[in-house]
Amino acid sequence: MTTPMPATPFADPAPAQRLERAATTLTAHGFTVEILDDAAAARTRIKDLIPEGASVFTGASETLRLSGIDEDINASGRYQAIKPRVLAMDRVTGADDIRRLLASPDVIVGSVAALTETGSLVVASGSGSQLPGYAGGAARAIWIVGAQKVVPDLGTALRRVEDHCLPLESARTQEAHGWPSAINRLLILNAEHHPGRGTVLLLRESIGF
């Protein structure tokens, strides 16, 4: 007879030592990592990290929405915000232009589904619109990551995507658009070879999925 293992509490923030361990490993893998207290601190820090006038694409993210960062970027007039521009374009006649705009902004800002203590970022997507920029198309990438997304390893990260993130995102898309979400594309970033390109703002609080 086997004893069932308790479910991983994917909504609970990781303690300080785990955040430090993840930050150290990510730094060794070429990412720039800053540990901040909360989303408000990240919202302030973003303004220092993105130069005024830069073209910026914000990936779909509850973290960005809840923190106010999405609105700061797309509605402030401080940047060349790509998302409002794309939403105003014809999806058929402007398809090629939309694809290019999303793939190669000056800066892409978003979040991840999981961040491992072994130094990987895991991003799940239904449409894949943010993945080219994250993977290398954008000149710079910034991820804001709540403490609940820190997990021990890649296997646990994939379970978090399937068991925790997907049901929550499906509920959101069902309410907003009338259809469930799906993990159609999965991006795993194990290292950053261009110093200063990838920045992780790792929060001590939980936010987003």
Residue 153 contacts by C-beta under 8 Å, 6 or more apart in sequence? Answer: 116, 117, 118
What's the pLDDT score for residue 9? 77
Closest by Cα among 128, 111, 123 to 58:
111
Residue 5's pLDDT band (cuts 50, 70, 90): very low
What's the CA gap between 29 and 133, in Å, rounded? Answer: 19
Counting residues of the chain whose pLDDT is more than 90, the rounded percentage is 92
